[in-house]
Amino acid sequence: MGMTGVLRPGHAAVRVLDMKEAMHFYGEVLGLIETGRDSYGRVYYRAWDERDHNSIILREADQAGIDFFGFKVDSPATLDKLEADVRAYGYPTERIPAGDLLQTGERVRFEIASGHAIELYAEKGKANSPQMVDNPPPWNPESERGIAPIRFDHGLLYGPDIEKVQDFFVNVLGFYLTEQILLEDGKTQLAIWLACSNKAHDIAFVRHPEPNKLHHVSFLLESWEKVLRAADIMSMNRISIDMGPTRHGVTRGTTIYAFDPSGNRFETFAGGYQTYPDWDPLTWTWEEVGAAVYYHDRQLNPAFLEVVT
């Protein structure tokens, strides 16, 4: 397949209540690599197998949650085109200068119907060291330190008007719907999963009355065994686990939901399937919403729909 336009989730900026605690968690327990700090006090991380300079950006604030979620696009020309398309759709856009985020080119930011700030950008500094790209070994010390996810993979965001969110992502940004959960009426969507690649999801949304909420940012692991290892590391470090290890019906991913020290949920997951844009979306009915989210328990925990930052 040819992957063009929007390539992948590239960065998420997460608010933390205490930077020192957050850095211990993201750097040592989750095992991301710190790649920089900026004049605003933001701290930058990437996962060991990522090729760009940063993917997770932390900012200390008096409330937890997400500042913005960014997608990398394939070129500056695509960035210009998508900026025009977003404006033509009726959403105002803002250009944030190159360098505002470390080693990151110009970003185009806009607010979507769910209240989230979404960004597109075409350029980010490369993290490639010769060890990573010339005769690379299959693993290295950084891939074994802490939970050590392969990459920042996707996010699940909560807010209103998710049908408008879907229309925008599909018709402006070129995503496609991979899965959905419907409410009792058999029509209204409770949740949507969207892909810009052949991953089962690059971003997902759950309908929620409050705008601009974060359910989780997700990190990819290689195997179910690594998911179990992640659970061990979480318990060893007294990390607050929400659910799992278990499996999602949606995407078939094996998963743990847990919370960072500021209460922002994160996921460590493995598996899932590959999709193609010509596939019909998978639909979960209201009767099976429990199995859609937690395949083994077949019931939601109250926190899935209620606990967000």
> Which chain residues interact with other proteins by CB under 8 A?
17-18, 62-65, 160, 183, 188, 190, 207-210, 240, 242, 259-265, 302-303, 305-309
Active site residue 294: no
Of 155 and 160, CB closest to other proteins: 160
CB of 286 to other proteins, least distance (A): 9
β-bridge mates for residue 95, sequence order:
108
Of 64 and 231, CB closest to other proteins: 64
CB of 257 to other proteins, least distance (A): 10
Active site residue 208: no
Active site residue 267: yes
Sign of CA dihedral 65, 169, 179, 271: negative
Of 225 and 287, CB closest to other proteins: 287
Catalytic residue (one of 176, 216, 294, 295): 216
Catalytic residue (one of 11, 53, 116, 201): 201
Active site residue 215: no
Of 137 and 302, CB closest to other proteins: 302
Catalytic residue (one of 45, 158, 176, 257): 257
Active site residue 216: yes
Phi then psi for 89, rounded to 5 degrees? -70, -20
Of 18 and 100, CB closest to other proteins: 18
Of 188 and 274, CB closest to other proteins: 188
User: CA dihedral defined by 97, 102, 108, 113, rounded to 10 degrees?
Assistant: -130
CB of 209 to other proteins, least distance (A): 5
Catalytic residue (one of 11, 53, 116, 154): 154
CB of 265 to other proteins, least distance (A): 7
Vertex 252 angle, CA 229 and 143, to 5°: 30
CB of 113 to other proteins, least distance (A): 12
CB of 2 to other proteins, least distance (A): 37
Active site residue 273: no
Distances, alpha carbon 191 to alpha carbons 54, 60, 271, 281, in Å: 29, 30, 20, 12
Catalytic residue (one of 45, 267, 294, 295): 267
Integer Cα distance of 186 and 193 in angstroms = 17
Q: Residues with catalytic annotation? A: 154, 201, 216, 248, 257, 267
